[in-house]
A and B are shown apart, each in its own frame.
Chain A
């Protein structure tokens, strides 16, 4: 009887000690022109999130195109400037991604992004002449780097908006590791990093938003220690007076909003900066271009492509991780 009672007490005490599990902390901030949510589990979860927020704010101060004191603004001023090692390295990576993607990702497209103003309160439809006048300013060849010394050709400007959040997610991932975060995730306005697993050991469940019904999900994917970034025209756009819809991703080759047969592109890989750059590039490339690019770089990333004709393509690395509703809005097809 005593043994039974002792055993019962032990079981109950063990159950109650489960309440001492590492604490889950969440944080929401507005930065880099978007809302950012973070969740961390661990004994130093609160400190990890606080350090992550500080890091994101530091990067915004360094890389923002709209902050006069940033290094990017200094570069855009037209003077030859010496930037930090960090900015120089990020610029070099941006140039590499531009070369790899055939210029479909290009940080020098900024003059056209600003002229269209689709992300601003006063978007404008540019005429063919206006586009033709600005297009010669686009191209990585206008960015001259010698170590940390950077010069832009006259009239050119850069915007790291299509890569900065991805880079920020890489930095947050490092902070999570430094603070021993057991599990968690960050969502930096369309850039996600899933760290470790949930408390039950399962990967984090990430819903890829349905571009045609943004309150719903097109697919679910389980991620652990991976980055995922989605780009799509549905995320920001404006409707002109004549009813034409102009989405926010500018094709550097035409100087106009990309006309893509894709509704959205999701890139999943082990590097947030790469995922950010590639998701934009693949959207601009369109379905056939994106397939061809993936076939050349299939070891580097996985992807989910949602097309205008309601097909959801996914790559073999996502087999067993991706769930698409049968009979839902999209027909799932495996790429090979």
Chain B
């Protein structure tokens, strides 16, 4: 009776699999930990009665962009690299005008009567929640 243990020698295929695991692991970790730059992008999302009407990255704006919301009330929203503000509104509360310019991730402008939310998202060292 002959006892023998098979000799396992890595082949080129094994190396390929190891390489694939390494690439996938690094790739997943980079995505999860938010690497590869892009840290300061701020995306502006404007929703009107639950529907997204505009979504744009602030830094992608080369000039001021105007978005008009037309419903029971009319709002004019101005977007620029420096921030976002409501320039005109005929809603009764005028809270959206009073809010002024928002430019940092986490900030928002809300028009309750017309159910418009202008929200800035992105990486930020700022607060998680704004109260008041």
Question: Which residues of A come within 8 Å of B, CB atoms?
Answer: 5, 8-9, 12-13, 15-16, 18-19, 21, 28, 30, 33-35, 39, 120-122, 185, 187, 190, 192, 194, 198, 204-209, 211, 213-215, 217, 220, 228-230, 232, 235-236, 264, 266
Stretch at the interface among B17-25, B60-68, B74-82: B17-25
Q: A214-B99, A235-B132 are in contact. List 6 more A-B contacts (CB 8 A).
A: A205-B126, A205-B129, A206-B128, A206-B130, A207-B126, A230-B132
- How many B residues touch the partner, as a band? 20 to 34
In the complex, per-residue mask of B9-37: 1 if CB is within 8 Å of any chain A CB, else 0: 00000000010011011101101110000
Give Cα A121–Cα B91 distance, bound, in whole angstroms.
Answer: 8
Residue B7 at the chain A interface, CB threshold 8 Å: no
Cβ-defined contact, B21 with A232, below 8 A: no
Contacts of B69 in A (CB 8 A): none
Question: By CB atoms of chain B within 10 A, which of A35, A192, A206, A230 has the most?
Answer: A35
**CB < 8 Å: which of B92, B101, B117 contacts A215?**
B101
Give Cα A70–Cα B47 distance, bound, in whole angstroms.
Answer: 29
Cβ-defined contact, B100 with A204, below 8 A: no
Cβ-defined contact, A28 with B32, below 8 A: no
Contacts of A232 in B (CB 8 A): 132
With A121-B92, A236-B95 as given contacts, are A16 and B128 in contact (CB-CB < 8 Å)? no
Contacts of B98 in A (CB 8 A): 214
Residue B102 at the chain A interface, CB threshold 8 Å: yes
With A9-B18, A28-B117 as given contacts, are A266 and B112 in contact (CB-CB < 8 Å)? no
Q: How far is the CB of A264 from the nearest CB of chain B, in Å?
A: 6
Give Cα A50–Cα B18 distance, bound, in whole angstroms.
Answer: 42
Cβ-defined contact, A187 with B18, below 8 A: no
Contacts of A229 in B (CB 8 A): 131
With A9-B22, A19-B32, A28-B117 as given contacts, are A34 and B112 in contact (CB-CB < 8 Å)? yes
Contacts of A230 in B (CB 8 A): 131-132
Contacts of A214 in B (CB 8 A): 98-100, 132
In the complex, per-residue mask of B95-132: 1 if CB is within 8 Å of any chain A CB, else 0: 10011111000010010110101000000001111111
Residue B87 at the chain A interface, CB threshold 8 Å: no
Cβ-defined contact, A16 with B24, below 8 A: yes
Question: By CB atoms of chain B within 10 A, which of A16, A19, A192 has the most?
Answer: A16
Cβ-defined contact, A266 with B117, below 8 A: no
Cβ-defined contact, B21 with A13, below 8 A: yes
Q: How far is the CB of B88 from the nearest CB of chain A, in Å?
A: 17
Question: B22: nearest residue on chain A (CB-CB)?
Answer: A12
Give Cα A140–Cα B95 distance, bound, in whole angstroms.
Answer: 32
Cβ-defined contact, A207 with B130, below 8 A: yes
Cβ-defined contact, A228 with B131, below 8 A: yes
Q: How far is the CB of B128 from the nearest CB of chain A, in Å?
A: 5
Cβ-defined contact, A215 with B31, below 8 A: no
Give Cα A31–Cα B13 distance, bound, in whole angstroms.
Answer: 59
With A215-B99, A215-B101 as given contacts, are A15 and B132 in contact (CB-CB < 8 Å)? no
Cβ-defined contact, A194 with B129, below 8 A: yes
Give Cα A264–Cα B131 distance, bound, in whole angstroms.
Answer: 11
Contacts of A19 in B (CB 8 A): 28-29, 31-32
The 6 A-B pairs with the shortest beta carbon distances in the complex, nearest first, are A209-B132, A12-B25, A207-B127, A230-B132, A15-B29, A16-B28
**CB < 8 Å: which of A9, A198, A215, A266 contacts B21?**
A9
Q: How far is the CB of A117 from the nearest CB of chain B, in Å?
A: 10
Question: A203: nearest residue on chain B (CB-CB)?
Answer: B128
